[in-house]
Amino acid sequence: MTETTDTTSPATDLVPAPRTVEGPTRRTVPLTGDTTLWAAPGTGTTERWLRSTLGAALGLPLRPGPEDAPDGLRLRLDDTLAPEAYRLAAVPDRGIEITGGSAAGVFWGAQTLRQLLGPDAFRRAPVRPGRTLGVPHRIIEDAPRFRWRGLMLDVARHFMPKEGVLRQIDLMAAHKLNVLHLHLTDDQGWRIEIRRYPRLTEVGAWRARTKIGHRASPLWEDKPHGGYYTQDDIREIVAYAAERHIGVVPEIDVPGHSQAAIAAYPELGNTDVVDTASLTVWDTWGINPNVLAPTDETLRFYEGVLEEVLELFPADTGASSPAAPSTPFSGFVHLGGDECPKDQWRASATAQRRIGELGLKDEDALQAWFIGHFADWLAARGRRLIGWDEILEGGLAPGAAVSSWRGYAGGIAAARAGHDVVMCPEQQVYLDHRQDAGPDEPVPIGYVRTLEDVYRFEPVPPELTAEEAGRVLGTQANVWTEVMEDQGRVDYQVFPRLAAFAEVAWSSLPAPAERDVADFERRMTAHYRRLDALGVAYRPPTGPLPWQKRPGLLGRPIEGAPPNL
């Protein structure tokens, strides 16, 4: 048994902040090469993670041992706790016990244990082998505020290799985030193998060149860019995430943002308006006019795509064994539905004929019909459609959910109409937006959203009644990668703001104006050392490092405070 001082205890530096921390003595519980690990049935995901990740970082074998081993590490389930809640008790002479309301709760408790052990616990191999480690004497009780704590990762604009996605999953787990929304298709690239339609990746996964900076920039990278995930890559990503109690929600964007698919299969486009055979995968950014044709052939094509998607992203039916990892919100499929210009449909005789046949009012109603078809198709297979808030226009099928991105208004309307909502307003939690107004900020996009701004984000608008607020599943930060060409740029834009977002999504915080930003920044001082150990190229509080700058690259900064829409 060793001692530590309370003023430097990592138990006061946890991110996200737990609900309660008790037991502020100076004693610690040792973790050594002799510490044993006992795991109750149903806690296997955490048992494996502790040995493979925490044990590897600290050089601890964590051999199996008896339940009552002195100073042992024990994992338990307690169904009187909320599903993702946990209780971590580090008690001298009794050891360390993590109890969860579910396997996920036990896993989140293990993430807290990792933080208690200091930054060395975030490495891949021991840097101080043989050192006696001590966990501060603490009893921590914790549970998340929101069920959906998400990160949307755009791999269509700039492809992120599989290893990078797995790394993002680990970073999410370290921050107790549990939904990875994977944006797999767009005008600039198709990133998932569909065996029935091989040209989607043979043609659609590659563009000849890439705009550098905002779409008004005169600069180009004149070399091909692309890549895609094989079906086994996707299975690996999904399984890796499930082991960390993270669900993966795939996005196949329709009917807009589809030029990569049309380039591969020109018959999907509005052939009576534009020469779709001449289209290539798009090489610039913005809203593309080339959208899918509202034909039966297009519907059948995307049903074929989705049949393979559903097989690759299986739903967690709850019928699996208690030891199987849970995959939150795995029944959802995101179908985009945003930014679909209607000009081609207005000019298309085929589209106008379809509007007449269906007795629809206009082109907005045609899009609602298109999305509604797939909402019904997914529902018939036990799945749920989720889409960007434009899918509300023209009516939305019962059971479909909404990602509110253009502000709060879409989410408010959806909740009042009885739909579940994920709040991800562009003005607040788009992490491609710049972090400072200074001239050194690389490729400045959108409003300034500082670490403090994100920390003061409130996902539930006050206009909602208690019943309507209950339809807010949670919240999500979105990472669009038009100006993020590699892992370093993604790291810079995402961190440290994702840590602030994670606390908003997990912790029970006061109203935005009352939040203790100074305390959060104090805790971040310790958290930066954890990110350093993980190799995260975050934006330092003092501004970008020399190699993080992008001088001369045109962005799209918006001045002033963002509107509260």
Which member of 257, 334, 419, 527 is catalytic?
Answer: 257
Give me 64's structure tokens: 């199996």
Q: Tokens in use for 455?
A: 């920390």
What DSSP string runs through 7-44?
A: GG-GGGS-SSPPSEEE---SBEEEE-TT-EEEE-TT-H
**Residue whose C-alpha is closest to residue 505's, from 472, 535, 542:** 472
C-alpha 155/C-alpha 138 separation (Å) is: 41
Q: Are 337 and 257 in contact (CB under 8 A)?
A: no
Which of 171, 283, 164, 310 lies closest to 220, judged by CA? 283
The angle formed by the CA atoms of residues 470, 401 and 295, to the nearest 5 degrees, is: 165
Distance of alpha carbon 133 from alpha carbon 153, whole angstroms? 36
Residue 288: partners with Cβ closer than 8 Å, 6 or more residues away: 187, 256, 257, 258, 259, 282, 341
Catalytic residue among 71, 142, 186, 390: 186
Task: Mark whether 47 is an active-site residue.
Answer: no
CA max distance for the chain: 80
Residues ≥6 apart with Cβ < 8 Å to 7:
none
Beta strands 73-77; 95-100: pairing state: parallel
Q: How far is it, in rounded angstroms, from Cα 553 to Cα 285?
A: 15
Q: Is 137 a catalytic residue?
A: no
> Where are the alpha helices (H) located in 188-337, listed in sequence order?
199-202, 231-243, 259-264, 296-312
Counts for the chain of helices (H) and strands (E), in that order: 18, 25
Question: 122 to each of 96, 326, 551, how far by Cα in Å?
Answer: 19, 24, 33
Q: Please tell me which residue in 236, 339, 440, 452 is annotated as part of the active site.
A: 339
Tokens (6 digits) for 181: 């929304």
d(CA 546, CA 542): 12
Q: Residue type for 33, please?
A: G
Alpha carbon distance 289, 88 (integer Å): 54
Task: Report the candidate in 284, 270, 173 with the shortest Cα–Cα distance to residue 221.
Answer: 284
Gap between the terminal Cα atoms of the chain: 55
Centroid of chain to Cα 522: 25
Contact 364, 341 (CB under 8 A): no
List, by residue number, the catalytic residues: 186, 257, 339
